[in-house]
Amino acid sequence: MLRVAIVGATGYTGCELLDILIGHPEVKITSLTAKLDAPIKIHDEFPRFKGRIDLPCTPLDAGEVARSSDLIFLSLPHGVSMKYAALFLKAGKKVIDLSADFRFADVGVFQQWYGIRHEQTGLLKEAVYGLPELHAERIRTARLIANPGCYPTGSILALAPLVKERVVELDGLVIDSKSGVTGAGRKASLPLSFGECNESFRAYKVGAHQHTPEIESELGILAGHALAIQFTPHLVPMNRGILTTAYARPLKETSTEEIINLYGRFYAKAPFVRVAAKGRLADTKDVWGLNYCDISIVVDNRTHRIVVISAIDNLVKGAAGQAVQNMNLMSGFPETMGLA
Amino acid sequence: MLRVAIVGATGYTGCELLDILIGHPEVKITSLTAKLDAPIKIHDEFPRFKGRIDLPCTPLDAGEVARSSDLIFLSLPHGVSMKYAALFLKAGKKVIDLSADFRFADVGVFQQWYGIRHEQTGLLKEAVYGLPELHAERIRTARLIANPGCYPTGSILALAPLVKERVVELDGLVIDSKSGVTGAGRKASLPLSFGECNESFRAYKVGAHQHTPEIESELGILAGHALAIQFTPHLVPMNRGILTTAYARPLKETSTEEIINLYGRFYAKAPFVRVAAKGRLADTKDVWGLNYCDISIVVDNRTHRIVVISAIDNLVKGAAGQAVQNMNLMSGFPETMGLA
Amino acid sequence: MLRVAIVGATGYTGCELLDILIGHPEVKITSLTAKLDAPIKIHDEFPRFKGRIDLPCTPLDAGEVARSSDLIFLSLPHGVSMKYAALFLKAGKKVIDLSADFRFADVGVFQQWYGIRHEQTGLLKEAVYGLPELHAERIRTARLIANPGCYPTGSILALAPLVKERVVELDGLVIDSKSGVTGAGRKASLPLSFGECNESFRAYKVGAHQHTPEIESELGILAGHALAIQFTPHLVPMNRGILTTAYARPLKETSTEEIINLYGRFYAKAPFVRVAAKGRLADTKDVWGLNYCDISIVVDNRTHRIVVISAIDNLVKGAAGQAVQNMNLMSGFPETMGLA
Amino acid sequence: MLRVAIVGATGYTGCELLDILIGHPEVKITSLTAKLDAPIKIHDEFPRFKGRIDLPCTPLDAGEVARSSDLIFLSLPHGVSMKYAALFLKAGKKVIDLSADFRFADVGVFQQWYGIRHEQTGLLKEAVYGLPELHAERIRTARLIANPGCYPTGSILALAPLVKERVVELDGLVIDSKSGVTGAGRKASLPLSFGECNESFRAYKVGAHQHTPEIESELGILAGHALAIQFTPHLVPMNRGILTTAYARPLKETSTEEIINLYGRFYAKAPFVRVAAKGRLADTKDVWGLNYCDISIVVDNRTHRIVVISAIDNLVKGAAGQAVQNMNLMSGFPETMGLA
């Protein structure tokens, strides 16, 4: 049994990780920590775990976490993760970091968009961007995974085949994305209160969201050169789910069938990408609680544009589920174990 | 034109008051204040008011408020209101207080349930409980109105005819009430965040909610003696509305028709109480944004019980609308002015 | 592997059954049927199953279902189930019926509340009411299970210990219950449309809901005599979850601790009942997607009443999860298999 | 007093019209009709109107409607409206048609996108597209108004200044729009049921929505030539509101301030367009129940693109409110009467 720890267990992502890992047949959860003054039972904070796991959640004692576990999920704020990642790696542990700290090869991009000084630049080269559909081979042998952001997961998977296969103009990609409220984290916040979010739909951080460079970075690698995308996130009055509507111009005339076939080939070995048949459109409801990324395609010959729509559960494929998928690959388990 | 001020304009109730008063033909809003470091435009906080009213919202300067207005709505925390009420009354102004500070004739009850020492006990006798369906005459001549709580409004109106007319056993009333989330106020709070409230239904403060003694106090006046009710509030994942389901045992056999007729007579002169025909049930949706209290009645002869269900909009009849209804009565305006 | 069929797979309950059974380690799903003109892929109707199960959903051919499966879940309308139950039992199969057809020992009660003539009265004696917390032993050896209704599950579990142990007055139980919208089934219906349910809270079928006699019947068995309860269902703008608030009068002075202890003992061997510690209140969110019934207790000494609040997921413990729990017992599997 | 009729009063738009017109100081509602077998009270269908208006809603008798009213709102299905519009115009009445029947100068476009044969082509020339921000002068003297669709209202207002003033490339406009569920009408429909819409976010009719040619037609008039837009509608789990995110490429370098100023000038005389200050973003919540179109602008110099976000209430500015705005102009009332 793989001994795993969750550092930062009381956020939505930590809680989802726990929910998934409880059902994983090859995992033993050995440590849960959070920013606390004193240990609690995890079900004191989340009654849904009562009777399902009987583990205390304690203030973080890095030495203790290292002693008791083989692989550590870090669900910590950006800028805080890097220090602990370094520490656990040094202790010979594997680390899956759910923050943005190791997602950028170019430290300047990270520092510019996050406004945080990077203190572990030596690890950036080793860190692998944990999107298994693109980097499965490197993930298998990685010690440090930078688990992707939620918007980037849905956006990159939506556009990767078009970019990689040179089907579309790379100057002018538009990504209009819509997320449920848990994507903003679990915290006391007036703008995230029910009275402010319910019966409300709004955009935020237009052209300025920190997930923008992450999408650009990965699509840029596929393109072979830097590119800029227009990314607009919106807040949907629902708990979970991200729908991403991406717009691209084909370089030459094509058809919905042709592009669906392209995606089918591109993701032939990806167990968690489901390409919809012609005429079907992705819906966040269909991936609720699941690790799938559903992708649907419409080629609009009237306007000469390809519209790609992807749906994920922001807490599963967009965070905790993808982290477990990465853990499976790193540990030699079947990629779908505990996730199907 | 009546010059009015709203002290505490940036909560949900203050905002709703403003929304209603903007459309009131006999009112001029002269002052908006809130807990602020510096003046803002009210539409900086609530963009919905942009172009509809062009008034600054300022830190509270009681002298300035008194100078510029004739009637003052206090939408302040319990315990804070009392001080300002006294001050404005002294300046010769009329006051409608939306806090609980003046709702109890018995200061001991207030102090016990609110845990606050009352510092203006001299005003308790003068204050009139602002439920127009029961106290219209006293409201007309009052200087100080204690505007009822949201749950008490729905609960008292649901049971008043049965209690007043001695139709039911008074020992054993059960009130099961369900409120939209704005009832808890506008604030940063984890339990009130969207992710915690959506797809959640829960009770809170069972047997211990501070609105319990307010209901008991008013029903006790109607009964002619003290009584205890079982009151359970619940939180509904919606913005607005309170549905109250009240259970009582009739002293003798009766029928739905008979009780509907009783309510019809009892509320014959109450423009904002609508008693439903037999077979129709109250729905919070039907009073959304309106100052009505809808009441529906089922006499269950199988179980020998009367079930009364009332619906109000917690921000309108449960707060701001009722305050304006009181203002109308105090000012000699038609009771429904600006509310229909 | 136990070969199971779902007859009526395209409702919310059928879909939830499928979701649970896909993950059950001892089950092979061999047949899915629904009211259809021609076979479909189940993921044509529910895209969430794409890639997870590759089975057609066909028009019902009872012979084929009997040939291919050992145990059959019937998720059919009341009155329709009885005929197929009889047929499958005759073919030597085990049947778990999710309709109300076999829930009443007294056929007159069924016919009165459902307005349907019972055509398989010979099976009523053999059918076992599938609430494992009360009837586990009989369930283990049953051929025909009447799977409980959603409201009755939450209501009976909330009150059973009080009734069985003679702690409360049996004349005067009030059950105020609130359900998410999926409880009403999957269908085109104006009152169930989003625009009519969202930002709405309402009661329905007050004193007249067909689950009333089911609750009375089971509590009556525990009491040793017939009793009448006041049952009021309400519709909550959320997908899943039932919160039940039950009110009872203790026969003698008691305390929250004492009643919590009583429940702890009563449900000591029930893996899916979680009794909350003093001060904690049940929330539908905490059982979302889980087979638990969470129960919380407040003894109100001011009013001399016991308030019991239970929470279930109407589609899991209130339907499909409980059906699988019954299947586990009938098949000699661990009670929690595939449900934890 | 202007005597008005609502033909088709039991849909969401008809109901909203009634809600607005009840408060209009210069209007007397004289007739309500709907597809009915026999007359009902309007509050039998919509209890929210009880006590507010006491008018029967009857099966449509066109002669009676014409006799009793001066101006008629048609809230009828596409293809049905045209016949009644012709009839009422012939009787000398003014007509505001909320269907699409008269929105297109080019009858071929109508017939192609709606699949309906136009039988009153003679009226197309006379009909005025009722978007007051663009056509106020013609509306004042019109007899027949084609009230705009909900998506087109938000989309056209978002882009009109950029198109009219030749600021952006016209080949390549992308409009990504998100609507609350009432936009789909009031009807029994499985895809519109609560269980299917709540916790769901999805696109529909991608590149094929019938509002596309309406947007293209009006923007084409402003441009002086035909243009094609990419339009994608989505369904948001909320009752009301449309947020439209539009993407355009500027022909030359510009700035957020410059574009905000342009919009300010363009809409200087439009009382219902509110252009947000730099840094503020439109939110459907801020126009809930109001007739405003809020517009916010971000010029992204990193990507050389202008992002315009508009918010309307689909039932108010997107339907009933705009219809009343048109009525005001046609009747010589102040444009904002009854709407502020």
C307 in Cβ contact with C247 (< 8 Å): yes
A332 Cβ under 8 Å from any chain D Cβ: no
The whole-number pLDDT of residue D287 equals: 98
- Mean predicted lDDT score pLDDT of chain B: 97
- The minimum CA-CA distance between C232 and chain B, rounded to whole Å, is 9
- CB nearest D286 (choices: B47, B274, B294): B47
**Closest residue in B to D51 (Cα–Cα):** B274
- Give CA torsion, residues B88, B89, B93, B98, to 10 deg: 70
Angle between helices D256-266 and D150-164 (to 10 degrees): 110
pTM, 2 dp: 0.97
Chain B residues whose CB is inside 8 A of the A190 CB are 186-188
The whole-number pLDDT of residue C192 equals: 98
Strand order in the sheet with C293-300: C202-203, C230-236, C174-180, C242-248, C305-312, C293-300, C273-275
Closest CA to C154 of C139, C138, C133, C168: C133
Asked whether residue B52 carries a pLDDT value surpassing 90, the answer given is yes
Query: Which other chains touch chain B, taking contact as 3+ CB pairs less than 8 Å apart?
Result: A, C, D
Helix or strand (DSSP H, E) at A238? none
Asked whether residue D340 carries a pLDDT value surpassing 90, the answer given is no
Compute the average pLDDT of residues D68-91. Answer: 98
Report angle CA B323, B328, B333 to the nearest 5 degrees.
Answer: 170
A235 in Cβ contact with A204 (< 8 Å): yes
- CB nearest A195 (choices: B12, B190, B199): B12
Compute the average pLDDT of residues C236-254. Answer: 98
**What would the two tokens of residue B328 be?**
């109308």
* C296-324 pLDDT per residue, tens: 999 999 999 999 999 999 999 999 999 99
Report angle CA B290, B292, B297 to the nearest 5 degrees.
Answer: 135
Please, which residues have CB within 8 angstroms of residue C6's CB and are 6 or more apart in sequence?
C14, C17, C18, C21, C29, C31, C32, C33, C72, C73, C75
- The minimum CA-CA distance between B268 and chain C, rounded to whole Å, is 25
Residue of B15, B150, B197, B293 marked catalytic:
B150
- What DSSP line would sit under A255-301, residue for residue? -HHHHHHHHHHHTTT-TTEEEPPTT---BGGGGTTS--EEEEEEEET
- CB nearest D199 (choices: B47, B199, B287): B199
D313 Cβ under 8 Å from any chain B Cβ: no
* B91-132 pLDDT per residue, tens: 999 999 999 999 999 999 999 999 999 999 999 999 999 999
The whole-number pLDDT of residue A340 equals: 84
**Closest residue in B to D50 (Cα–Cα):** B274
- CB nearest D280 (choices: B47, B199, B340): B47
Closest CA to A299 of A240, A244, A254, A233: A254
Specify the 3-state DSSP secondary structure of D227.
Answer: coil
Whether residues A186 and B199 touch (CB distance < 8 A) is answered with: no
B86 in Cβ contact with B121 (< 8 Å): no
How many whole angstroms separate alpha carbon D235 and alpha carbon D213? Answer: 20
Compute the average pLDDT of residues A10-19. Answer: 97
**Closest residue in B to D43 (Cα–Cα):** B286
**What would the two tokens of residue B172 be?**
């054993």
How many whole angstroms separate alpha carbon B199 and alpha carbon C221? Answer: 34
The whole-number pLDDT of residue A61 equals: 97
* C114-157 pLDDT per residue, tens: 999 999 999 999 999 999 999 999 999 999 999 999 999 999 99
C4 in Cβ contact with C69 (< 8 Å): yes
The whole-number pLDDT of residue A298 equals: 98
B238 Cβ under 8 Å from any chain D Cβ: no
Whether residues D302 and A228 touch (CB distance < 8 A) is answered with: yes
Tally the residues of chain D. 340
How many whole angstroms separate alpha carbon D30 and alpha carbon D11? Answer: 18
**What would the two tokens of residue C276 be?**
């909350």
B239 Cβ under 8 Å from any chain A Cβ: yes
D318 Cβ under 8 Å from any chain A Cβ: no
B200 Cβ under 8 Å from any chain A Cβ: no
Whether residues B48 and D287 touch (CB distance < 8 A) is answered with: yes
Beta bridge partners, B146, equal B97, B129
* D287-317 pLDDT per residue, tens: 999 999 999 999 999 999 999 999 999 999 9
How many whole angstroms separate alpha carbon B276 and alpha carbon B278? Answer: 6
The whole-number pLDDT of residue A24 equals: 97
The whole-number pLDDT of residue C216 equals: 98
* B142-180 pLDDT per residue, tens: 999 999 999 999 999 999 999 999 999 999 999 999 999
Please, which residues have CB within 8 angstroms of residue C109's CB and are 6 or more apart in sequence?
C213, C217
Whether residues B203 and C305 touch (CB distance < 8 A) is answered with: no
Compute the average pLDDT of residues B287-293. Answer: 98
* A207-216 pLDDT per residue, tens: 999 999 999 9
Compute the average pLDDT of residues C41-51. Answer: 96
CB pairs under 8 A between A and C: 43
Residue C15 identity (one-letter amino acid)? C
Compute the average pLDDT of residues C12-30. Answer: 97
Specify the 3-state DSSP secondary structure of B257.
Answer: helix
ipTM greater than 0.95, yes or no?
yes
CB pairs under 8 A between B and C: 148
- The minimum CA-CA distance between A227 and chain C, rounded to whole Å, is 34
C110 in Cβ contact with C121 (< 8 Å): no
Whether residues D176 and A176 touch (CB distance < 8 A) is answered with: yes
Query: Which other chains touch chain C, taking contact as 3+ CB pairs less than 8 Å apart?
Result: A, B, D
Closest CA to A76 of A121, A24, A133, A10: A10
The whole-number pLDDT of residue A60 equals: 97
- Give CA torsion, residues A34, A40, A42, A43, to 10 deg: -150
- CB nearest C245 (choices: B232, B241, B300): B232
The whole-number pLDDT of residue B340 equals: 84
C210 in Cβ contact with C113 (< 8 Å): yes
Q: Which CATH class for the B2-126 domain? A: alpha beta
B46 in Cβ contact with B16 (< 8 Å): no
The residues in C 218-237 lying below 8 A from D, measured between CB atoms, are 237
C235 in Cβ contact with B318 (< 8 Å): no
- What DSSP line would sit under B5-43, residue for residue? EEESTTSHHHHHHHHHHHT-TTEEEEEEEES-SS-EEHH
How many whole angstroms separate alpha carbon C115 and alpha carbon C129? Answer: 21
Please, which residues have CB within 8 angstroms of residue C242's CB and are 6 or more apart in sequence?
C150, C151, C154, C177, C178, C179, C180, C183, C284, C311, C312, C313, C314, C318
The residues in A 38-97 lying below 8 A from C, measured between CB atoms, are 46-48, 50-52
Mutate which of C303, C305, C306, C312 to test chain B, going by most B C-beta atoms within 10 A?
A: C303
Whether residues D307 and A207 touch (CB distance < 8 A) is answered with: yes
Mutate which of D181, D193, D238 to test chain C, going by most C C-beta atoms within 10 A?
A: D193
How many whole angstroms separate alpha carbon B136 and alpha carbon B131? Answer: 7
Chain A residues whose CB is inside 8 A of the B181 CB are 193-195, 198
Chain D residues whose CB is inside 8 A of the C12 CB are 195
How many whole angstroms separate alpha carbon B128 and alpha carbon B130? Answer: 6
How many whole angstroms separate alpha carbon D40 and alpha carbon A10? Answer: 55
How do the domains of chain B map onto residue ranges?
A: 2-126, 150-314
**What would the two tokens of residue B95 be?**
């006051």
- CB nearest B48 (choices: D23, D280, D286): D286
Helix or strand (DSSP H, E) at A58? strand A56-58
Asked whether residue C59 carries a pLDDT value surpassing 90, the answer given is yes
Number of Cβ within a 10 Å radius of residue A125? 8
* A239-284 pLDDT per residue, tens: 999 999 999 999 999 999 999 999 999 999 999 999 999 999 999 9
Compute the average pLDDT of residues A273-302. Answer: 98
Whether residues A188 and B186 touch (CB distance < 8 A) is answered with: no
Closest CA to D194 of C199, C322, A63, A29: C199
Q: Which CATH class for the D150-314 domain? A: alpha beta
Compute the average pLDDT of residues C246-271. Answer: 98
Backbone angles phi, psi at D160, to 5 degrees: -50, -50
Compute the average pLDDT of residues D210-219. Answer: 98
- Mean predicted lDDT score pLDDT of chain C: 97
Query: Which other chains touch chain A, taking contact as 3+ CB pairs less than 8 Å apart?
Result: B, C, D
Chain C residues whose CB is inside 8 A of the D238 CB are 198
A266 in Cβ contact with A159 (< 8 Å): no
How many whole angstroms separate alpha carbon B288 and alpha carbon B316? Answer: 8
3-state helix/strand/coil string of chain C: CEEEEEECCCCHHHHHHHHHHHCCCCEEEEEEECCCCCCEEHHHHCHHHCCCCCCEEECCCHHHHHHHCCEEEECCCCCCHHHHHHHHHHCCCEEEECCCCCCCCCHHHHHHHHCCCCCCHHHCCCCEECCHHHHHHHHHCCCEEECCCHHHHHHHHHHHHHHHCCCECCCCCEEEEEEEHHHHCCCCCHHHEHHHHCCCCEECCCCCCCCHHHHHHHHHHHHCCCCCCEEEEEEECCCCCEEEEEEECECCCCCHHHHHHHHHHHCCCCCCEEECCCCCCCEHHHHCCCCCEEEEEEEECCCCEEEEEEEECCCHHHHHHHHHHHHHHHHCCCCCCCCC
Compute the average pLDDT of residues A280-294. Answer: 98
The residues in C 255-274 lying below 8 A from A, measured between CB atoms, are 271, 274
A281 Cβ under 8 Å from any chain C Cβ: no
Asked whether residue C340 carries a pLDDT value surpassing 90, the answer given is no
* C163-196 pLDDT per residue, tens: 999 999 999 999 999 999 999 999 999 999 999 9
**What would the two tokens of residue A213 be?**
């460079």
Mutate which of A16, A193, A198, A288 to test chain B, going by most B C-beta atoms within 10 A?
A: A193
Mutate which of A15, A286, A313, A316 to test chain C, going by most C C-beta atoms within 10 A?
A: A286
Whether residues A286 and C340 touch (CB distance < 8 A) is answered with: no
- The minimum CA-CA distance between C260 and chain D, rounded to whole Å, is 35
Burial class (CB in 10 A: 0-12, 13-18, 19+), C230: buried
Whether residues D285 and A200 touch (CB distance < 8 A) is answered with: yes
* A105-149 pLDDT per residue, tens: 999 999 999 999 999 999 999 999 999 999 999 999 999 999 999
Backbone angles phi, psi at A283, to 5 degrees: -140, 130
Whether residues B271 and D52 touch (CB distance < 8 A) is answered with: no
**What would the two tokens of residue D302 be?**
């990193």
Burial class (CB in 10 A: 0-12, 13-18, 19+), C340: middle
- Mean predicted lDDT score pLDDT of chain A: 97
Whether residues C194 and D181 touch (CB distance < 8 A) is answered with: yes
The residues in A 6-35 lying below 8 A from D, measured between CB atoms, are none
Beta bridge partners, C310, equal C244, C295
How many whole angstroms separate alpha carbon C128 and alpha carbon C142? Answer: 7
Residue B278 identity (one-letter amino acid)? K
Whether residues D176 and A180 touch (CB distance < 8 A) is answered with: no
Specify the 3-state DSSP secondary structure of B84.
Answer: helix
- The minimum CA-CA distance between C28 and chain B, rounded to whole Å, is 32
**What would the two tokens of residue D241 be?**
């509101």
